[in-house]
Structure 1
Amino acid sequence: MARFLILAPLLLALGACDRGADERPVVVDAVEQGARGDVERVLLRSALAQGLVRFDAAGQVEPGLAERWNMVDDGRSYIFRLGDATWSDGRPVTAEQVVAALRRAVRVEAAHRLTPFLRSIDEIVAMTPQVIEVRLKRPNTELLTLLAQPELAVIRGPQGTGPLRRLQGRGIRLRAPVDPEAPPPIGADEVRLRGSRAALAVVRFAEKRSDLVLGGDFADWPLVAAANVRPADVRVDPARGLFGFAFVGRAGFLSTPFGRAAVGMVLQSANLPGRIDSGWGAADTVLPERLDSLADPALPPWRNLTEEQRWATARAQVAAYGRPVRLRVALPDGPGATLLWGRVAAALTRIGIAGRRVAIDAPADLRLVDRVAPYDSARWYLATACRDCSLEAMTLIAAVRDADNLPERAQLLATADAALTADVAFVPLARPWRWSLVASRLRAFQANARAVHPLNHLRTDTR
């Protein structure tokens, strides 16, 4: 009994410390670096504005402005019923306002990463003050996933509809709208967002000066291994998408599929992802699975060669060319990209090619493509991989967009996949590597295939 009396004050004090820590605002560092995009801006837009639908913690579609919806006419029309929502100034949201904002977002002039995949939208109309219909020229069973993307969040002037609101003061401070009849919000209801270089973000997290690091990719991954971060705090998303090299130059040795195949087969044989992390699995097809194509993913032309035969064939192709072969390889900055370049340069040298690393946006012969798929359609993968592909492949991919029905679309996708692969326009290496650092107090955080992590789904998954 005496022992309990001695320990009781200590246990109560520790419990109070835990509660106090959990009442702190959630501090988020968004990794920023040059050409890889403005992660802070995307997170902020997703927090302050939502579309008809949005993503939850698992990367699944959940209600946004629309409280419910249904697909009709075999995917040619979607009908949404709006819930009660207000702009950040407190005024109610109307269907006409939402329609006007969405029409602006899907116009060709908007020119964002989703623009090529929104051309199936024919009309967006307000049927009643609370009901909106999106009419399509052709069936699109992935429209909801597209509408959940931050580019299609509904904004009217400077105002959005949440799920969070920006607070006054220095920095970016966010909080869910406060119900005047509810208890006063605690500090943990507040999210503080800032953009940071990867090295600084990792150090801050290791020193417990932040709760979450978002936006990490392969180029900064070695920083995590070098930091004193608990393994349990490191989360890697099972991201779907493309990671590999696109042939963006077709002169000289790369002018024929045989030359491109020589480069492709050795890059796939060099275990490039394993140079970054032993747990990063390789991929050898553009499509991760069949998806909406009629056929399984097309395999590369060298699929039946052994590893030894691949190296020997590639060396023979370079030797037969009879002239020096020099290739410019475009990569981002970062220690992970440097590790990748070392293995790429060694593979090219082994078959007699002199490689030169250039900036990711510089003129090049091969350019790294590292993209997470915004939705699950074979067309996205093929269109993204086709940077400088054959006229046949380009024509087929364009025809997919104009297919009148789903069976025709599936057949065209299979044919386009086969044509792109035979042309050796892209060398798949892996699926994108996306990582986050997550404090244990953020119990609602989930790794997911979209690699999206809404700031309103961090501590609890109830908003």
Structure 2
Amino acid sequence: MVASAIGGAATIADPSASKLDFAQRVLVGATAQGLVRFDSAGGIEPGLAERWIVIDDGRSYIFRLREAHWGDGTEVTAGQVVRSIRRSAAERSRNALAPYLAVIDQVVEMTPQIIEVRLKQPRPDLLKLFAQPELAVLRPRGRDGSGPFRAQPSGGGVLLHAVDQTYASEDASTPASRSLRLFGERAAVAIARFRAGQSDLILGGRFTDWPIATSVGLNPANLRIDPAQGLFGLAVVRREGFLADAGNRAAVSMAIDRARLTQALMPNWTPSETLLPAQLDSAVPPALSTWSIMTQGDRRAAARARVALWRRTHPGPMEVRIALPTGPGATLLWGHLAEAMLRIGLTPVRVAIDAPAELRLLDEVAPYDSGRWYVNTACVACSPEAAALIAAGREAPSLTERAQRIAEADAALTRDAAFIPLAQPLRWSAVALRLDAWQRNTRAWHPLNHLRNDRE
């Protein structure tokens, strides 16, 4: 089997030393495992831990480790697992999930087979974090993991051999494939490879590349869309000039016709006007903007009036720089955003995703189902009030208080118009029909050892 992961080269990198791109996440997830892993449906299955219990009202997770080995045959020890988790959760860690691991108080080796993770506050969703590739246990020097695959460079890609048959259980629906070749590459190259019949799978497709996938004649039966949940919208990154005022930031949000925007990229892509996709662990449903009941025409009229009022006392150019990624999907998005800005009297300027800007696109799938991830990620340059509520949610001593702080932070961010939601993240794959164990899921994550119902 041959698979492509959209991104840079597929290399094994230490998640505690740098943020992984998608191809690196796929390779780390294939060659290393944490205490638990995601299955094909986005659920939790055993990894290095064969079983676990949660005690003390969700403040203590106790894991019993199974027998596992590094690439050279030496045994994975509880001490190595403990040190890996500590390194990921350390204050100076560059792990992308480190801000959500600050709740960990201690990681303790209780016996050679049992470790305990003690928390400062209860976190019922901790296992979903531990299942992420960022929490995979790697041997620091060798940067190798304990499977389910071993990797070796091969022809510009990576050859993966299945060595861990833990997942080839008695249930014949979940065997590990024996071997596969993985490429980390640009979307256009991955699509050309798939279209030529030289690969069986593309993972990691985004809105930026969707127009390519739909315009080159790929069989619609091979294109799969995940019901991904996360953030897709514009974060305010500079609260200066016109965007220094919350009412003006709201005017920018009102100007955007989300329905037309999403329809232009994919007909069944649902627009979004709230920061949270659902209530999740918030005390109340997602906060709505005061203008949410207005028609699109009324929204734009109100936004134009707001810009005109500002111009009376602030003459001169009113530029708004919008940082976007490359790709045809991003160009389509830019066209709709630019039209919206021009219609209300602003001058939009497109800049690179990492360039200085007033607004920057966030396109991230949530690693776990907590409103805290949403409010914390959206708060790039939010109000002191919202930032304080987000911090209070992190430190809340009970789940009830945490839910209330999350709700208050959601409401504060919405009032502040610090984030402009557009839709849920668009994630797609191209899947050969014989890979019949592939399943849609909200994590948009598809482990390479869970793709077929029959052995190769």
TM-score normalised by L of structure 2: 0.91
**Contact residue 76 and residue 140 of structure 1 kept, 8 A:** yes
Residues 1:390 and 2:383 aligned together? yes
C-alpha displacement of 1:87: 1.5
Between 1:302-311 and 1:383-392, the stretch displaced more is: 302-311
Residues 1:304 and 2:293 aligned together? yes
The residue correspondences of 1:31-70 to structure 2 (distance < 5 A) are 31-32=6-7, 38-70=21-53
SS of the equivalent of 1:243 reads strand
The aligned counterpart of 2:422 is 429
- Counterpart AA for 1:28: A
CA change 1:392–1:433 in 2 (3 A) is: same
SS of the equivalent of 1:262 reads helix
CA change 1:462–1:111 in 2 (3 A) is: farther
Unpaired runs of at least 5, structure 1:
1-25
- Counterpart AA for 2:425: P
Write the deviation string for residues 118-174 of structure 1: whole angstroms up to 9, x where unpaired: 000000011111111000011111110001111110111323111111247544111
The aligned counterpart of 1:165 is 150
The aligned counterpart of 2:161 is 175
Aligned residues: 432
Residues 1:206 and 2:206 aligned together? no
Q: 1:358 aligns with which of 351, 356, 365?
A: 351
Write the deviation string for residues 102-126 of structure 1: whole angstroms up to 9, x where unpaired: 1112112222210111000000011
C-alpha displacement of 1:306: 2.2
C-alpha displacement of 1:213: 0.7
Unpaired runs of at least 5, structure 2:
10-18, 169-175
Q: Which has the larger radius of gyration?
A: 1
CA change 1:140–1:462 in 2 (3 A) is: farther
Q: 2:438 aligns with which of 434, 441, 445?
A: 445
Residues 1:89 and 2:72 aligned together? yes
Name the one with the larger helix percent: 1
- Counterpart AA for 2:58: G
**Contact residue 258 and residue 272 of structure 2 kept, 8 A:** no
CA change 1:261–1:395 in 2 (3 A) is: same
- Counterpart AA for 1:206: R
* Counterparts of 2:83 and 2:367, CA distance in 1: 23
Write the deviation string for residues 63-120 of structure 1: whole angstroms up to 9, x where unpaired: 0000111111111000001112112111222212211121112112222210111000
* Counterparts of 2:122 and 2:455, CA distance in 1: 33
Write the deviation string for residues 181-225 of structure 1: whole angstroms up to 9, x where unpaired: x9xxxx962110111111111111111111101111000100011
The aligned counterpart of 2:12 is none
SS of the equivalent of 2:333 reads helix
C-alpha displacement of 1:447: 1.7
* Counterparts of 2:55 and 2:192, CA distance in 1: 51
The aligned counterpart of 2:5 is 30
C-alpha displacement of 1:268: 4.7
C-alpha displacement of 1:270: 6.0
Question: What RMSD over aligned residues (CA atoms) do the two structures have, in Å?
Answer: 2.1
- Counterpart AA for 1:348: M
TM-score normalised by L of structure 1: 0.90
CA change 1:117–1:461 in 2 (3 A) is: farther
**Contact residue 150 and residue 162 of structure 2 kept, 8 A:** yes
SS of the equivalent of 1:246 reads strand
Structure 1 runs, 4 residues or longer, greater than 6 Å off: none
Residues 1:190 and 2:179 aligned together? yes
